[in-house]
């Protein structure tokens, strides 16, 4: 949840390495402190590990490419590998978890080499300080309200027309056709919001539209048949 803030940067560069929610920093360092106490890690060893890890993180977040980068990526995490981890695609950003060595991703089968199409988080996410703080404290701020690129009424009307066509436009079943078509379409696109927003009265109006549409199409088809016969 806190790590959303790190991943929502749409342009990967060295500054992304420092793009961390303050609660992530606190929780991570509390766990590190506990590990030091429990395992009795020497302070020199700890400082050396922290310095090496920090330098590696700065390096693999840079927006650069260089000769032999792929060969070097056989041993350590390079920018090419870490960009995949920042991909907007779930199947890609669940890869290349390493911070210093790429051997761990090889070992666990999570290493992936490709050029991601996009960096960041899908959908709109904040890029300023206070909204970013709130963004990192919500469980699912990446989920946006359902939006439809096309008019669902038109899709349902089209489906209802073909249902009516199957019974040769026999009258009296327009409402049933509309509801059945609606069920089929919403099962395909997921339309809970649409279902809540449409009243019974609106459903009746929509079903009548199907009747009018069917009649209009039938008349046009009949006219086309007559004209082609002449």
The pLDDT tens digits for 137-150 are 886 544 454 444 55
The string of DSSP letters for 21-74 reads -HHHHHHHHHHHHHHHHHHT--HHHHHHHHHHHHHHHHHHTSS---TTHHHHTT
Q: What are phi and psi of 101, to 5 degrees?
A: -100, 140
| Sign of the C-alpha dihedral computed for residues 109, 110, 111 and 113 taken in this order | positive
| pLDDT mean across residues, the chain | 81
In the chain, how many H helices and how many E strands? 12, 0
Average pLDDT of 95-113?
Answer: 95
What pLDDT score does 120 carry? 92
pLDDT grade for 228, boundaries at 50, 70 and 90: low
Q: C-alpha 104: how far from its chain's center? A: 27
């Amino acid at each position: 949840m806190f790590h959303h803030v790190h991943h929502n940067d749409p342009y990967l560069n060295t500054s992304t390495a420092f793009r961390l929610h303050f609660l992530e920093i606190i929780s991570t360092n509390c766990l590190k402190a506990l590990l030091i106490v429990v395992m009795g890690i020497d302070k020199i060893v700890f400082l050396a590990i922290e310095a090496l890890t920090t330098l590696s993180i700065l390096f693999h977040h840079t927006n650069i490419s260089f000769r032999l980068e792929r060969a070097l990526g056989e041993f350590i995490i390079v920018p090419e590998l870490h960009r995949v981890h920042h991909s907007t695609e779930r199947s890609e950003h669940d890869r290349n978890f390493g911070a210093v060595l790429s051997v761990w991703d090889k070992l666990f089968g999570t290493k992936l080499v490709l050029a991601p199409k996009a960096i960041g988080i899908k959908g709109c996410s904040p890029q300023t300080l206070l909204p970013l703080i709130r963004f990192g404290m919500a469980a699912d701020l990446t989920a946006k309200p359902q939006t439809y690129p096309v008019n669902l009424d038109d899709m349902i009307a089209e489906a209802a027309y073909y249902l009516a066509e199957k019974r040769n436009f026999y009258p009296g079943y327009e409402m049933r056709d509309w509801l059945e078509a609606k069920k089929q379409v919403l099962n395909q696109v997921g339309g809970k919001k649409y279902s809540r927003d449409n009243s019974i009265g609106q459903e009746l109006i929509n079903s009548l539209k199907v009747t009018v549409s069917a009649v209009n199409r039938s008349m046009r088809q009949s006219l086309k048949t007559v004209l082609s016969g002449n």
